[in-house]
Structure 1
Amino acid sequence: MVANIAAAANKLDIETDVSLTEAREVVLDTADEEELSSKYQDVEFVLGDDLNAGKGVLHLTTRRVVWVSSSSGGPAFALRYPQIVMHAVSRDPSSYAKPCIYLQLDEGSEDMAMGGGDDEEGGEGEEDAGDVSAEVRLVPSDESKVDDMFKVLCDCAALNPDSEVEGEGDFFFDEAEVMAGLDPSTRAAVMADRLADGMELGDGEEEDGANGAPEDLQELVGDDPSRFEDDEEEEEAQGANQAAGNGR
């Protein structure tokens, strides 16, 4: 089972060669300014629908989601935030038996999604790994930890914008689930920032001439500013001039 999970993780570009200390603590990448935000004991790591690596310690850092098996010599897995295209709290028993954090991963290339190309070693484990869906569930034994885990995950993900996509925000996620998982003060701050961004955009449009309308009108009018005057107004003006002439 562990071999199958490791093979499946490799297919989905999940890091399996995680640097650990002798005490099985995560070695942080100080060159990338990585810091530990929080960690949680007794969290199951489930890859796909049913590849369960057992219980371990979940480390949420400012750069990665790292899970380390509680078993001596057990596996460790690490994900960088840009690999996660959506994350949510799952409490639907029809989706999974226990409340958990659901992660949908970037499947990458078509070869990765289909299980990769020809492996040197081949073997039954690699073939089975090709069918795994690009999903991870983080299942704490203490269900009350789910919301706290989710909030920390959101906060850390926000520190890692996807530089390959412009104008799409910091991170791909299920926005409704994320907003629902935030505390009221944080949610209010996010909404205030978005409102301010919208107002700034509107101000910029006015400075450019209300979406360019005056410039477009000037181009149409050209050297004949009277071309759009009402015909009736012209007739009335002509009639007034004639009456004034007759009065003389």
Structure 2
Amino acid sequence: MGLGLLHFDGRIVDDDGRPLLESDDGEELMHVEPGVAVALGSRSMESPGTLYVTSRRVIWLSDADKGKWYAVDFLSLSLHAVSRDLETYPFPCIYTQVFDL
């Protein structure tokens, strides 16, 4: 895992199944995208889950393994590229750049 990327074995969620936010520190939910698979570096792709983008973090919660989720705090988040080239990666995907703290 990259610097700043956190792996949690426990899922801390509210009654709706969403990750608990640090609302006391002003964190707000900005976007929710279900059905997102995550590939980190050269590791195999994780089964689909839900991607949450907050005002401070990117959080991914697995649908298949309720005890698996990743989170990263960021200073800046940008879309780097969209790829549909199946010779580069076996599925259409997006590449992002996360500038962490």
What amino acid is the match of 1:59? Answer: Y
Does 1:14 find its partner at 2:5? Answer: yes
Q: 2:92 aligns with which of 99, 102, 113?
A: 99
C-alpha contact (below 8 Å) 1:41/1:57 kept by paired residues: yes
Partner of 1:51 in structure 2? Answer: 44
Could you tell me how far apart the structure 2 residues matched to 1:22 and 1:48 are? 32
Could you tell me how far apart the structure 2 residues matched to 1:81 and 1:100 are? 21
Partner of 1:73 in structure 2? Answer: 66
**Structure 2, unaligned stretches of length 5 or more?**
none
Question: Greater share of strand residues, 1 or 2?
Answer: 2
Aligned with 2:95: secondary structure?
A: strand
**Structure 1, unaligned stretches of length 5 or more?**
1-8, 107-159, 163-248
Q: When the two structures are aligned, how many residues end up with a matched partner?
A: 99
TM-score by length of 2: 0.74
What displacement does 1:72 show?
4.7
C-alpha contact (below 8 Å) 2:79/2:94 kept by paired residues: no
Partner of 2:33 in structure 1? Answer: 40
Question: Greater share of helix residues, 1 or 2?
Answer: 1
Change (3 A) 1:95 1:75: same
Aligned with 1:16: secondary structure?
A: strand
What displacement does 1:36 show?
1.0
Aligned with 1:31: secondary structure?
A: helix
What is the root-mean-square deviation of aligned Cα atoms in Å? 2.9
Partner of 1:246 in structure 2? Answer: none
